Chains A and B, each alone.
Chain A
Amino acid sequence: MSSADPLASSAVPALEEVPTARSVTRAIAQPRTPLQRLLHWFNNSIVTVIVVLIALLWSIPTFGLFISSFRPAAAIQSSGWWTGLLPPWHFTIANYIQVIQAQGMGRAAINSLIIAIPGTLFPIAIAAFAGYAFAWMKFPGRDWLFLAIVALLVVPIQTALIPDLSLVTAMGITGTYFAIWIAHTAFGLPFAVYLLRNFFGALPADLTESARIDGASHPRIFWNIILPLSMPSLASLFIFQFVWVWNDLLVALIFLGGNPTRAPMTVTIADLVNSFGTNYQVLTSAAFISMALPLLIFFTLQRYFVRGILAGSVKG
């Protein structure tokens, strides 16, 4: 596998190299006279101020929730969250304790994990096999079949919900985790197949062909050559699918059939919104708990994220 390493860098769009090349040319093109330099600095400062203002504006709503989640129930309902920023401070973790203990949110968090982990890994695995075949095998109807799957990418899942529900009922698995795993797998497949086939197909053809000539089988090529080279796209797909399944409300509402013992956090929080419309302290901490894991995953894997999407969509 040592020979695959230099190829790894050429197969992945070299994102890091592009900005460096640009900053070099930019440095050469710096204005020279003091007046020009002053103008340049002034323009840059204005842009920086605008950008920072936008970033702050974008963060205010989330920041408001974050502050609120640490305020006492009475304070949340009687004054704006921004007043909590001024002394005297009365921050508390009581809301978090209340949610975890009393509202079944602990159970819901476990349910979310039980749903999201297989709901993410199943479609990625199945799509990886299919993506490999679509990219590197020749068989009749290959392109048409691939096009049909890509076309289904744009079909709203709403059209599929009624028949799928009866299909799941016919299989006798309504309201079970298995039903929602299958649903998330099927709904995630078109995008996953599309992304992975594009990424696999962009890998150099000599790589698989020389391995074929050396007598390597398809499973071997797939496992030893293609998968290790495709980690960025697999990681970005993992982010997409995990965040989608973790944050999903509609599929859970329909396929779990209102079974509260299996409901994920989104369903539980939505119920809280509906039943405790003004009981903010419960909602604030619950919402923040449900955000924590996707944010963590996003920040750990974000390097891969852009690379993976780029391979899928910005090739041309």
Chain B
Amino acid sequence: MALTVTKRSSVASWSSRVRARWRDASVAWIWIGPAVLLVAAFLFYPMINTIWSSFFNADTTRFVGVANYRQIFTNASMLEVLRNNLLWLVLGTAATVIFGLLIAVLADRVRIESIVKAAIFIPMAISFVSAGVIWKFVYQYAPPGQTQIGLLNAIITRLGFPPQPWLINPAINNFALIAVYVWMWTGFCMVILSAALKSVPEEILEAARVDGAGEISIFFRIIVPMISPTIAVVATTMVINVLKIFDIIYVMTGGDFGTNVVALEYYQQLFTYNDFGLASAFAVLLLLAIVPVMIVNIRRFRVQEARR
């Protein structure tokens, strides 16, 4: 008798538990529903779709295997696009993170820190389009002998050098464009790294100074290791950002003179040449380049969750 009672009550509590779990789950789905639906429809499904179309011809009517990829990796101008993206990835990421860290460390030691940081951060609020206009006044070129209205050429002709067509000369134009990106995004890195710097206890730095450590070895041996998680976050953000770079080049050179990058090439394949297959293949290459970053992100999230 007693046995059946316990059994019955346990069955009852089990079924009520299941019902409560179902109720909880359906309530939760009402809360996350809109977000999950939008992300699934506008980001996840397209990702699958793009991967699929990259194996098809221009109007996605015929399966062509890896022909689009073969074309990208054998065509000289397309290889140049990939090479440019690599240059952007390495230089753009390294320069923004290193300058951001350097300026954060230096600004931390002066009284006018907030003014300096605002000056570095302002370009973040400027659109790529406006930045393109701003930098035309820096890179503008006129033939030798004429008045140089571009700042950079005015300076170097005053110093006795011939003026340079900064955005047209293939030896330097990619660096000129990357400089614009660095100008815009260093502020972002600086703000976050500076906040991390403030969390390094001053006692540790003082102790190192008392022990006779120089400022440079304090920087490399103490500060950098202590804020390395933040440096990783910032560098990851920059990698994601640079891989997708589009606007600066679209506005300043339109991808001409050997400055094209993957995102812009994709845009041109899609809207100028109407080649869905090839455009998709370029997008998939971006996706593949980002997979390692994604894995690192997920790993970091799990470590964080374990500590929660």
Contacts and interface: CB of A to CB of B under 8 A. Distances in A.
Contacts of B109: 44, 47
Interface string B101-113: 0010011011110
Contacts of A35: none
B106 A47 contact: yes
Interface string A39-54: 0000010011011101
A234 B130 CA distance: 27
A150 B297 contact: yes
A80 B147 contact: yes
Given A61-B138, A82-B151, A54 B283 contact: no
A247 B128 CA distance: 7
A59 B119 contact: yes
A316 interface: yes
B120 A54 contact: yes
B192 A54 contact: no
The prevalent SS among residues of A at the interface is: helix
Given A51-B110, A60-B151, A291 B283 contact: no
A79 B303 CA distance: 58
Contact of B120 (A55, A138, A315): A55
B194 to A, nearest CB: 8
A297 B126 CA distance: 12
Contacts of B223: none
B195 A15 contact: yes
A156 B116 contact: no
A160 B42 contact: yes
Given A142-B28, A316-B304, A158 B244 contact: yes
Interface string A215-242: 0001000000000000000000000000
A177 interface: no
Interface string A1-42: 000000000000001001101100110010000000000000
Interface string B163-204: 000000000000000000001001000011001101100110
B206 A29 contact: yes
A203 to B, nearest CB: 12
Interface residues of B, number: 104
B129 A249 contact: yes
B92 interface: no
A19 B201 CA distance: 10
B243 interface: yes
Contacts of B220: none
Interface stretch (B33-41, B64-72, B74-82): B33-41
A159 B287 contact: yes
B129 A270 contact: yes
Given A62-B122, A186-B38, A137 B31 contact: yes
Interface in B117-150: 118-130, 132-138, 147-150
Given A162-B50, A250-B267, A186 B122 contact: no
B297 A151 contact: yes
Interface stretch (A85-93, A95-103, A303-311): A303-311
B209 to A, nearest CB: 8
B226 to A, nearest CB: 12
A269 B233 CA distance: 33
Contact of A158 (B34, B266, B304): B266
B134 A139 contact: no
Contact of B154 (A25, A80, A185, A299): A80
A143 interface: yes
A155 B267 CA distance: 16
A310 B192 CA distance: 7
11 contacts: A51-B112, A126-B38, A130-B34, A156-B244, A158-B283, A186-B42, A247-B127, A274-B254, A290-B127, A309-B195, A313-B233
Interface of B: 21, 24-25, 27-29, 31-32, 34-36, 38-39, 41-47, 49-50, 53, 103, 106-107, 109-112, 115-116, 118-130, 132-138, 147-151, 154, 183, 186, 191-192, 195-196, 198-199, 202-203, 206, 209, 229-230, 233, 240, 243-244, 246-247, 250-251, 254, 263, 266-267, 270, 276, 279-280, 282-284, 286-287, 290, 293-294, 297-298, 301, 303-305, 307-308
Given A64-B151, A140-B25, A158-B267, 4 more contacts: A140-B21, A152-B47, A243-B124, A315-B304
